[in-house]
């Protein structure tokens, strides 16, 4: 089941929000660093949603967002840092 992920971009900061059955299950927060970089600060998935790969889905959405908007990702979140270390295929969006 593909969950719904939306982007909330408020100009200076934003987040990717993953919903399951209309409820917020997780989020990945970011702040803009200039016009061409986002700093991913935090990834959170509710305990009741653990083990479903939701954090990875949020990461995929962040990478897609970066590619679509021609921006780079600065990983501050430890999960995002680990994902960049493991997956060479997403280094095109690494700042």
**What's the CA angle centered on 16, arms 15 and 20, to 5 degrees?**
130
Please give the Cα distance from 75 to 83 (Å, whole number): 9
Class of domain 4-93: alpha beta
The whole-number average pLDDT for the span 71-90 is 98
Paired tokens of 63: 């990478």
Would you say the pTM of this structure is higher than 0.75?
yes
Split at pLDDT 50, 70, 90, the class of 1 is: very low
In 3-state terms, what secondary structure has residue 51? Answer: coil
pLDDT tens-place string over residues 8-36: 999 999 999 999 998 999 999 999 999 99
Q: What are phi and psi of 76, to 5 degrees?
A: -105, -35
Summarize pLDDT for 32-63 with one digit per residue, the tens: 999 999 999 999 999 999 999 999 999 999 99
């Amino acid at each position: 089941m593909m969950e719904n992920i939306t982007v909330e971009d408020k100009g200076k900061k934003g987040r990717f929000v993953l919903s399951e059955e209309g409820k917020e299950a997780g989020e990945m927060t970011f702040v803009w660093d200039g016009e061409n970089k986002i700093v991913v600060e935090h990834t959170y998935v509710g305990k009741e949603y653990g083990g479903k790969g939701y954090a990875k889905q949020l990461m995929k959405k962040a990478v897609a967002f970066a590619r679509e908007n021609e921006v780079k990702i600065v990983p501050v979140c430890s999960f995002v840092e680990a994902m960049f270390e493991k997956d060479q295929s997403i280094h095109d969006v690494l700042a």
